Amino acid sequence: MGLFSRRKSPESVARAQALAIDDFWHWWRTTGARETAEAIDDRAPERITDAVSKRVHAIDGALSWELAAGAEAADGGSRHVLVVTPEGDPALRAVARRWLLAAPEPDATWEYGDSRRATAPDGRLTLGVGGARIDVARATIAARVEGPVVDVTVHHPDFADLDEDVRRLAAFLMLDATIGETEVELWVREIGTTTVPPLDPVPLPGLRSVVRQLREQYTDADGGPTWVLLHGVRHDGTPLVASTQVPLKAVTAPHFDTHAGVVVPYTDQTPEGLPGPDGLAELRRFEDHLAGRLEGCGRLVAHETSGGTRLLHFYVDGTTPAVEQLEAAVVGWSQGRVRVQAEHDPGWSGVQHLRV
């Protein structure tokens, strides 16, 4: 390491990852898919482990991968599933999604994912965790719903014999197996464990119905996030109105890893500093104009309005010229100078204060 070594920029990391993703899929298309399927059919998956690990870790050493059984081709699915997962790390969600976006079309043999699927929705599974064998069917939960999220406390009779770290790991793995990794990230806020049975215990698979109800309430007909309106007051007493998508989570579009805050002044104001009718219509047209310029490389996820200024929260794909497209698109605004401030933010921390 040089005396004046410096950290790699997000741009240089993304370029290296893109090359490694291309290399992975070139290998997969030429020999990897066939060799991996043959190893599974021969009940010798260890034969392919090193080859897959080498190429996945070339993308990022912290990524994980696994093979799982898919639906039968006769049911419209594939025999096998290859999953590359960021293991819940926000910094890795984008590269895992870019790996998936570059994947071949699913066929009768293979399909692909960037998060663990619900492998045991009925709870019939035995986990090996920390040297213990845990029968998931014996787990129960206490669940508390608050708005669009649920807090879950997991109990298992064997937890009394396990360290807290092992209990927590087991709880996370149980939830992933029951509802899937993406659903956990979207809807579950807190995961706790207890050695004492809940007063009103619910079998672990009962969490599926809780999550289904949240999904039905907080996603639209196309499965996308809904929007809610929030009202508040700034520390100086100025009224503030915010609109935000729900759920406001990076997992809804993990490859949009760059926060682009667009600060828009407006002149048509009410006495409280909020937009008047004409100003509100102009702001909405301007938002649509900016979103259209992104051409699918980003989305507006929230905005805050107060004191003659609207802050638009866009998240965009940092490997594309999306930020430059926004900067070019704002110059036509006639009510003041619009500023665009961009920052690499794979965990969407820039809108954390707007989550409900």
- Residue 69: strand, helix, or coil: strand
Q: What is the mean pLDDT of residues 184-191?
A: 95
Q: What is the pTM of this model?
A: 0.88
233 and 337 part of one domain: yes
Which of the listed residues 113, 138, 160 is the one where a domain comes to its end?
A: 113
- Could you tell me if residue 270 is inside a domain? yes
307 and 271 part of one domain: yes
When divided into structural domains, the chain yields a total of 3
Local confidence band at 340 (pLDDT 50, 70, 90 cut-offs): very high
Q: What is the mean pLDDT of residues 46-51?
A: 96
Beta bridge partners of 194: 155
- Residue 348: strand, helix, or coil: coil
Residue 334: exposure state from Cβ atoms within 10 A (0-12, 13-18, ≥19): exposed
263 and 321 part of one domain: yes
Q: Where are the alpha helices (DSSP H) in 28-130?
A: 33-41, 46-59, 90-101
149 and 96 part of one domain: no
291 and 349 part of one domain: yes
CA dihedral 160, 164, 168, 171 (to 10 degrees): 0
205 and 260 part of one domain: no
Whether the per-residue pLDDT at 282 is higher than 90: the answer is yes
CATH code for the domain of 308? 3.30.70.240
Do 65 and 54 meet the contact criterion of CB atoms below 8 Å apart?
Answer: no
Pairing of strands 149-155, 188-194: parallel
Whether the per-residue pLDDT at 72 is higher than 60: the answer is no
138 and 95 part of one domain: no
- Could you tell me if residue 178 is inside a domain? yes
Q: What is the mean pLDDT of residues 280-302?
A: 96
252 and 345 part of one domain: yes
State which residues form the domain around 29: 10-113
Do 103 and 22 meet the contact criterion of CB atoms below 8 Å apart?
Answer: no
Whether the per-residue pLDDT at 118 is higher than 80: the answer is yes
Which of the listed residues 218, 242, 259 is the one where a domain comes to its end?
A: 218
243 and 275 part of one domain: yes
Kindly report the number of other CB atoms within 10 A of residue 218's CB atom: 20
Q: Which pLDDT belongs to residue 75?
A: 56
Which of the listed residues 90, 113, 136 is the one where a domain comes to its end?
A: 113
Query: Which tokens hold the place of 42?
Result: 């021969």
- Work out whether the CA dihedral 155, 160, 164, 168 comes out positive or negative: negative
